Amino acid sequence: MAASPRADFETLFRAYDIRGIFNEQLKEDTAAAIGAGFARFLGKGGEVVVGRDVRLSGERLRNGLTAGLVSGCNVTDIGVVSTPMLYFATSQLKKNAGIMITASHNPPEWNGFKLFKPNGCIYGEEMSRIKQLASAVDLEKIGPKLGKTTKYEKIFQDYAEFVSSKIKVARKLKIVADTANGVCGLFAPSLFERQGCEILTLNKNPDGRFPAHLPEPKESTLGELKKKVVETKADFGVGYDGDGDRAVFVDEKGRLIPGDLALLIFAGDVLKRIKNAKVVCELSCSLAVEEYVKEHGGQPIIEKVGHTFIMDRMIYEKAVLGGEKSSHFYFAETNGGDDAIFAGLKMAEILSKSSEKLSAMFDALPQYPSIFEENFPCPDNLKFKVIDRLKSKFRADGLRFLDVDGIKLLDNEGWVLLRPSNTEAIIRITAEAKTEKKLMELYDFAVRELKKAMKG
């Protein structure tokens, strides 16, 4: 095998992970080159934890990755786990880094790698350095194995003990979980049962083909869950993604709760106990998040969209809680990481200590008209230039906006966000306002300006 084709790496390496279609951009020898490059990135004496989700290509990519890693590192293989469990293991086992083999919620033919340090994600300049090192690897001249691979098979027991020490469900609840044939089916049911809950699990059997529906929990994939929650008179439902870092909640009436409003249920619980606590949210979260956190004595902190940015900000700010509109939830107890199983158990704990139903908690939250993530195709080589054109135009027109992640235009009665995707050839528009009229005014303006900017 010769040096890995640089073109593959240009496609594979994203802002905060590595992702592609197996046996097209991402092959076993590509994984070996990435492993060897990562070993060089860590330097002599590196110790790396490797885990994988249930995708059919996971084992082959694990074999390639570890073959490259042992050219300079020792590898601890923890088998099939959730991404949060991999992050937990990196710290728990006191290793230099962790690599999770997953493509999260992508279709089954995709796979990739998420890279971690014990205190956060590897991305940005470090990711660029790993890409550079991997691109230079010649697999025919990789040299002798300086490291070895060992297996550690007790990480779930360790994780279960950790979670049980942090969460106490006060009374028996009935819960329905849709694990989407992903990794959560292996772990979530027993953890809920350990807390004394009655748990009904849909699509429980792990299957990397994801036969029930795509492993992305959202309105269009959670119809079965919503129906089953109402049918069984459950206290709530939770839908998980493929690798266990997203949890979407459904109340006992079968209504899906947007991620930013579920965040406020967690925040209400925390802010009762911790005054002046910091809560991190991202740019597309509702106006209600900032308002609610301030009203309840907390400090809202706004960050870019994306788990790497939220996780790093959680750790830097020593925040107690974080969340995204897409239903990633971050906790101080999980070292700032987003953990879907932990989020589900925490919701059970909150409900078990309250006389209110989840629907009442949801209905009590401020809710404004919104449009979430309308997608507009835009070539990868053009999307960031389009955003720069819009910044120049809006600046010249004297408009108020934030530019920490795309452009968030600010109005006294709402906002609209134009954000280039880091993983797809699209620009997304999200908007919110205090009235339907203002919402459509902001959205229509953003669409018109975007189309003009795309024409140059």
How far apart are alpha carbons 273 and 292 in whole angstroms?
A: 15
Phi, psi of 53, deg, nearest 5:
-90, -165
How far apart, in whole angstroms, are the C-alpha atoms of residue 279 and residue 322? 5
Q: Cα separation of 13 and 19, whole Å?
A: 7
Contacts of 391 (CB under 8 A, 6+ apart): 401, 403, 407
Do the Cβ atoms of 235 and 252 come closer than 8 Å? yes
Dihedral pair phi/psi, residue 433, rounded to 5°: -155, 170
Q: What is the DSSP letter of 212?
A: S
Evaluate whether 385 touches 418 at the Cβ level (below 8 Å). Answer: no
Cα–Cα distance list, 397 to 168, 384, 400, 440, 446 (Å): 54, 20, 9, 20, 14
Are 279 and 299 within 8 A, CB to CB? yes
CA 139, CA 2: separation in Å to the nearest integer?
6
In angstroms, the CA 324 to CA 329 distance is: 7
Read off φ and ψ for residue 111, nearest 5 degrees: -160, 175
Nearest Cα residue to 431 out of 282, 258, 284, 303: 284
Region of 210 please: left (phi>0), alpha (psi -120 to 50) or beta: left
Q: Which residues are catalytic?
A: 104
180 close to 215: Cβ distance less than 8 angstroms:
yes
Distance CA 61, CA 113 (A): 10
* Strand-pair category, 236-240 with 247-250: antiparallel
Among candidates 89, 162, 126, 173, which has minimal Cα distance to 352?
Answer: 173
Taking the C-alpha atoms of residue 131 and residue 133, their distance in angstroms, rounded to an integer, is 5
